[in-house]
Amino acid sequence: MNTYPQLKRNFLFLVIQEYYRNYENNNRILSEYINNRTLKSVKTLLRICITLLKFTNKPHYAIVNDAVEISKKFKKEKLINAVLRNILRSKNEIKYEKNIYPNFKKTIDKIFSSKSIRNYTYGTLFEKPKNYQISLLDNNSAIYNKRVFILEKKIMKSCFVQDIGNFEVINAIHKIYNDKNIIDLCAAPGGKTILLKSLGFNVLAIDKSQNQINKFKENLNRLNIKINIHKVDFLKKKFADKFNSILLDAPCSALGTFRRNPDVTIKVAEPEMKKYQKVQIEMLNKSLKILNNKGFLIYVVCSFHPFETIDVIDKIMQIHKNIKLHNIKSDKMIKRKNGYFINPYSFKELGGSDIFFVSVLEKIV
Ligand SMILES: C[S@@+](CC[C@H](N)C(=O)[O-])C[C@H]1O[C@@H](n2cnc3c(N)ncnc32)[C@H](O)[C@@H]1O
């Protein structure tokens, strides 16, 4: 896809987003024409076609012709042709519903007990999320804590783009740390590091991915700020020092970013989640080794799957008996057993937010 011209890439990206947003709905539509034994490739192609029919101006005959041509590769052109023509014949009766992939819905239901929050959260899957630009300076014309602007067309000079939930995480936790020298263990592309820096923190930033670090550096150059970012695999690195303040924004399934990346909604599979959990626990164990007594380690993931959030902290608390959990003051988060989830409903007026999990751990003697 990287070799496509930008305009085509943007178009494809939007189609892919709609494909996954409407995955369950399209399965329902297709269930009238195909069955469980239908080839996976046929189902995928048909779902793509329904997405194109609904969300693009591409002529219907062209969509059918292209699909028939492609399906010749797996010798299913008659089936594809017949299903698409049937769908087109009854296109005025087709109901486009907001169906949600069952496992994804179940995961939302596990975290949010309030019906209004659940319903709102389901609905945000079908809305195109707003982008926000966060200012490095306090600014009276900005909304929500004087730092946040809706991104219209152009990024303003002292701003960088991120989700409002990300902003709230740092907004809510930064006062907890009692030492402004902090190590950010998974820092790139720098959303949280830059916010910490703007709040007066002296950040030692590390990340293992050169790609992500390059994006981070682009941000830093544009904003004309200096932060040392080191390409380091945290799990392999030997540390001579210990720290009073640690941020671990761990790699995760990114389930909480489902509005921007609707594909995650259909990938909530246990084995995958267990893999993330293993790494997250490894990273937390190592973080605790380099944390000073009375120091604070804050664990963040942009996910709300129990495996990556509550269960991770549970397991860590079982291994380490010298950890105290701390409360967070935020009217935009919901407290669960051992951490907090961003409540997207609290950003209703701003178009919702990504969902992060945050847990604050203090090492006690
Ligand atoms: C959720 S992202 C961090 C986002 C970032 N904190 C922000 O707010 O923009 C997770 C990051 O962890 C990094 N990562 C994964 N495994 C790592 C490891 N073993 N050591 C250091 N960084 C790692 C990835 O490269 C990725 O950039």
Q: What is the CATH number of the domain that holds 228?
A: 3.40.50.150
Do 74 and 136 belong together in one domain?
A: no
Question: How many structural domains comprise the chain?
Answer: 2
Residue 111 lies in a domain: no
Q: How many CA atoms lie within 13 A of 299 on its CB side?
A: 35
CA distance 316 to 304: 17
Residue 110 lies in a domain: no
Residue where a domain terminates, one of 59, 89, 119: 89
Query: And the tokens for 233?
Result: 């695999």
Task: Among 183, 193, 208, 213, name the best residue to mutate to test ligand 1's pocket (greatest count of ligand atoms within 8 A of Cβ).
Answer: 208
Among the atoms of ligand 1, which is closest to the Cα of residue 252? Answer: 1
Do 187 and 309 belong together in one domain?
A: yes
Task: Among 170, 186, 199, name the best residue to mutate to test ligand 1's pocket (greatest count of ligand atoms within 8 A of Cβ).
Answer: 186
Residue 115 lies in a domain: no
Do 152 and 221 belong together in one domain?
A: yes
Ligand 1: centre distance to CA 224 (Å):
22
Per-residue pLDDT 10s for the chain (365 aa) are 566 677 778 888 889 999 999 999 999 999 999 998 999 999 999 999 999 999 899 999 999 999 999 999 999 999 999 999 999 998 888 888 899 999 999 999 999 999 999 999 999 999 888 889 999 888 888 888 889 998 888 888 889 999 999 999 999 999 999 999 999 999 999 999 999 999 999 999 999 999 999 999 999 999 999 998 999 999 999 999 999 999 999 999 999 999 999 999 998 788 999 999 999 999 999 999 999 999 999 999 999 999 999 999 999 999 999 999 999 999 999 999 999 999 999 999 998 999 999 999 999 98
Ligand 1: centre distance to CA 249 (Å):
7
Do 137 and 276 belong together in one domain?
A: yes
Expressed as residue numbers, the domain containing 46 is 6-89
What are the DSSP E strand ranges found in 72-115?
A: none
Do 34 and 139 belong together in one domain?
A: no
Task: Among 183, 207, 248, 342, name the best residue to mutate to test ligand 1's pocket (greatest count of ligand atoms within 8 A of Cβ).
Answer: 207
Residue 236 lies in a domain: yes
Give the chain's end-to-end CA distance (angstroms, integer).
53
SS3 39: coil
Q: Which residues line ligand 1 (CB under 6 A)?
A: 186-192, 206-209, 212, 233-235, 249, 251
Residue 13 lies in a domain: yes
Do 44 and 155 belong together in one domain?
A: no
Taking Cα atoms as reference points, which of 251, 243, 250, 249 lies closest to residue 177? 243
Residue 104 lies in a domain: no
Do 40 and 146 belong together in one domain?
A: no
b/e code 146-185 from CB counts within 10 Å (16+ = b): ebbbebeeeeeebbbebbbbbbbbbbbbbeebeeeebbbb
Q: How many CA atoms lie within 13 A of 189 on its CB side?
A: 12
- DSSP secondary structure, 192-257, as one string: HHHHHHHTT-EEEEEES-HHHHHHHHHHHHHHT----EEE--TTT---SS-EEEEEEE-----GGG
CA distance 115 to 121: 10
> What's the pTM value of the predicted model, to 2 decimals?
0.93
pLDDT of residue 93: 82
Helices and strands, number each (H, E), in the chain: 13, 12
